[in-house]
Amino acid sequence: MKKLLLLASIIIQQSTTNYCKSQSFNPQLGSMLQDTLNTYVAAITNIKGMSAAVYLPGQGIWQGTAGVSYTGQPITSDMEFGIASNTKLFVSAAMLILEENHILSLDDSLSDWLPSYPNINPNITIRQLLNHTSGVQDPIFLSPWMDTIMANPTRVFTPTEVLTWVGTPLFAPGVSWSYSNVNYILAGMVAESATGMHISQIIRDSILTPLNLDSTFYDVEEPEFGTIAHRWYNTIDYNDTSRVGLNTAGGSAGSLFSNSGDMIKWYHAIMNGQLLSPASFAELTTFVPTGGAYTYGLGLENQTWFGHNTYAHGGSTWGYKSRMVYDPCMGAVVCGLVNSWPSGMDGIAILLYRVLVNHVPGCPGTITGTSSVCRGQTVTYTTTPIVHATTYVWTLPNGAIGTSNTNSITVTYGGAAVSGDITVRGNNQFGVGNVTTLPIIMNNVDVSTTTGNATIIANSAIGTYQWLDCNNGNSFIPGETNQLFTPFANGNFAVIITVNGCTDTSACVNFIGVGIADLTTEGLTISPNPFTSQTTIRFVKEQNNTTIKIVDVLGNEIKTLHISGKQCTIEKGEMSKGIYFIQIIEKGKSVMNKKIIVQE
């Protein structure tokens, strides 16, 4: 199993892009975000310090900080915070990766992987754990268990011990919804039972390492690294108090630490297909009602803010709070981390998101216009007006020509144009917004030909054909509309080919046939050739009961004649249009073969 995970990791790592390094975040927008952060951190007195980050497509990452870790030490952007329940999305993604590798199924029941526990229905499925429809109680942060954890900060609480705190189920599995940290503790236990590995190692192998999230770790199970922001609980600095009791009790429900840069990269990666298959992402974002302002997927909330649909999650633990917001349409990610609990930091993260909604070019619509095109074709493309956009930025496939700074562009596909994407995004004084894409398929017409002894063949096996007489102004040759063309005389010929609505013309081919002109060698002539009704064979010498056979190109005998004298006439009769061969037979042996062509 571990090999499967490592293989998946390699694949993911190869597809991961450094999407922020080559981009430049708009300084005016960055200044507005920093001003917002400074203003509200100062206004909300229960926030000790905050680290925030924003990602925007086409602009990259902005990071800002405000407040302090402790007196005399400002928060820095590399500092790590407990992300609490934002751990749940990592766990859900890890479980989906195990499902992709056929280790388990989200439809598996607890009884498939775990023994029975009091007040835990064995028929609960993994999916019901991850979307909180299991009905399992959540006593961890309630008295008396909260007091037990606080009183034993260095004690290691095992998952089995925590399960003994669980009371009577709230409802039957799948009947309703209730948030429970115990759901994710159980999910971590299932993962370990299925793999023999702790959930922290699965997250490390399948997510953190391949996505280069090198400032994220699973507390207690993994060594602490980096700079940890001091944690404040009810205005008291708990930095010198062990986190072992807290984060072993919470376990896979909330024990990850990270910084704002890693969290931005994490959300961007999982939301943009760098980690999960499309089927797994569809499971992740299948939301169930909660009875509140949001619906819930697998470690992910779905909520509307400022008229925009968002994917989000929060996290709270003793000393830390976190809030993530992702706008699928704008492609924007917002992260807020604070080192104090309780605090009103969630509102600041939402206010940072509001800055984006109110100023950055908004959600782009689809691009309308023909997507299947031909070289030489001119097409006009349009997108609906983008909110806040003052200009538009278009990109075109190689070889396509067109410029515009409006929501419409006229594109000409030159002779070297190739398949690719047309994209457009809005632009204003705060930079560019998200991009929308229209894939363009260039229909290439193969206009090469191959010349044989008697025919010219268009190499394109699909399409329609019209052969041309290059010696007569490229005029159409009536009736010559097949892939194979039998010239009526020596000369220059070309073909017009149409494929998927695209038309192109081959180069003119010089054709010199064998036996097509009147033959005056080897003792005979054939004239006319080609012919429509009859042709005459004339011999130089008198013939004495010479046999003449006419065969088609497949060798089938069509006619047999006997001649005494110097000439004979061949009637077309039932012979259809095409190439035939005359065989002169003397004393039972073929002594001469000549080609004739029958026209309609």
pTM of the model: 0.80
pLDDT at 225: 92
Question: Cβ neighbours of residue 143 under 8 Å, at least 6 residues apart?
Answer: none
Give the ranges where 152-257 is alpha helix by DSSP (H).
159-163, 181-195, 199-203, 244-250
Closest CA to 568 of 515, 519, 525: 525
**AA letter at 540:** V
Q: Which residue has the higher pLDDT, 302 or 519?
A: 302
Q: Is the pLDDT of residue 331 over 90?
A: yes
Question: Cβ neighbours of residue 226 under 8 Å, at least 6 residues apart?
Answer: 78, 79, 80, 215, 217, 259
pLDDT at 17: 42
Helix (H, G, I), strand (E, B), or coil: what is residue 488? coil
Torsion-angle region of 580 (φ positive above 0: left; ψ -120 to 50: alpha; else: beta):
beta
Q: What is the pLDDT of residues 408-450, one digit of tens each?
A: 999 999 989 999 999 999 999 999 999 999 999 999 888 899 9
Q: What is the pLDDT of residues 218-268, one digit of tens each?
A: 999 999 999 999 999 999 999 999 999 999 999 999 999 999 999 999 999
Average pLDDT of the chain to the nearest whole number: 91
Q: How confident is the model at residue 353 (pLDDT cuts 50, 70, 90)?
A: very high
Closest CA to 229 of 260, 199, 201, 204: 260
Q: Cβ distance 451 to 509 under 8 Å?
A: yes
End-to-end CA distance of the chain: 72
Q: Which residue has the higher pLDDT, 374 or 563?
A: 374
Residue that is written with structure tokens 């632009």 in the block? 427
Question: Cβ neighbours of residue 403 under 8 Å, at least 6 residues apart?
Answer: 394, 409
CA dist 235 → 67, 158, 321, 415, 477 (Å): 14, 29, 14, 70, 93
Question: Cβ neighbours of residue 207 under 8 Å, at least 6 residues apart?
Answer: 90, 93, 94, 97, 213, 266, 275
Percentage of residues in the chain having pLDDT higher than 70: 92
Q: Cβ distance 215 to 80 under 8 Å?
A: yes
| DSSP character string of 12-26 | HHHH---TTTT----
Closest CA to 550 of 542, 535, 561: 561
**AA letter at 272:** N
- For the ranges 5-9, 71-75, 131-135, 281-285, the lowest mean pLDDT is seen at 5-9
Domains of the chain: 2-330+343-359 (3.40.710.10), 367-442 (2.60.40), 449-511 (no CATH), 524-598 (2.60.40.10)
pLDDT at 1: 42
pLDDT at 10: 35
CA 70 to chain centre: 44
Contacts 24+ apart (CB under 8 A), 136-139: 136/166, 136/169, 136/170, 136/180, 136/182, 136/183, 136/186, 137/166, 137/167, 137/168, 137/169, 137/170, 137/180, 137/182, 138/178, 138/179, 138/180, 138/181, 138/182, 138/183, 139/165, 139/166, 139/167, 139/182
Q: What is the pLDDT of residues 31-48, one digit of tens each?
A: 999 999 999 999 999 999
pLDDT at 297: 98
pLDDT at 589: 59
C-alpha–C-alpha distance, residues 501 and 486, integer Å: 26
CA 128 to chain centre: 29
- For the ranges 103-112, 207-216, 519-528, the lowest mean pLDDT is seen at 519-528
Q: Is the pLDDT of residue 488 over 80?
A: no
Q: Is the pLDDT of residue 557 over 90?
A: no
Q: Is the pLDDT of residue 590 over 80?
A: no
C-alpha–C-alpha distance, residues 99 and 554, integer Å: 60
pLDDT at 515: 40
Give the ranges where 80-204 is alpha helix by DSSP (H).
87-100, 126-130, 145-151, 159-163, 181-195, 199-203
- For the ranges 177-181, 291-295, 590-594, the lowest mean pLDDT is seen at 590-594
pLDDT at 128: 98
Tokens of 146: 């909260």
Percentage of residues in the chain having pLDDT higher than 90: 73
C-alpha–C-alpha distance, residues 159 and 147, integer Å: 17
C-alpha–C-alpha distance, residues 581 and 596, integer Å: 6
- Using DSSP bridges, classify how beta strands 372-373 and 431-442 pair: parallel, antiparallel or unpaired: parallel
